[in-house]
Structure 1
Amino acid sequence: MYKREDKNLVEDALKRLGVNPSVTFREFYNQYEGPFWEEHVPFALLDIVEEEHSIESYTFISRQEHAFFPKQYLVLSEMFLSFR
């Protein structure tokens, strides 16, 4: 279900982002495609490229909105609000 079919998407996204993450990070996203979430956890671990809301898209938004946002940082999650 979470198996990534096209590993080139990961490398392309990392190049566009201009980052060089750890081997573990690369291996995880080369192997798995998200997003990853659980109903009882108030956040989701984003996929690096898949979906409209991704690590790549949120990182670029953060860089645009906040000039001080460090280039080596990535936005990894999205917060969800629960109204119960």
Structure 2
Amino acid sequence: MQSIRRERESKSREIAAQLENNRDRFLTAAIPVLERIMREAGAAVVLEQRSVFISANAIDITDTAIKQIDAVLKDGTEPAAD
């Protein structure tokens, strides 16, 4: 029983490390895109929607950001070369 628990804990740590690695890779590719969109829009910050109490959707860049990040990431393996 303890060996099964150790295997599960090990697998859980492995998955968590992989998720963190994937998150870091995504942010490495996404941040330059978001910074460019911010400059073009004259924005000072990008907020995650769940942390906003109330907002006007007039300056929502979500769709633009998704399209541009998708263009950079392509199939998700590595950022595309310019």
Larger relative helix fraction: 2
**TM-score (structure 2 length as normaliser):** 0.26
**TM-score (structure 1 length as normaliser):** 0.26
Larger relative strand fraction: 1
Q: Which structure would you say has the larger Rg? A: 2
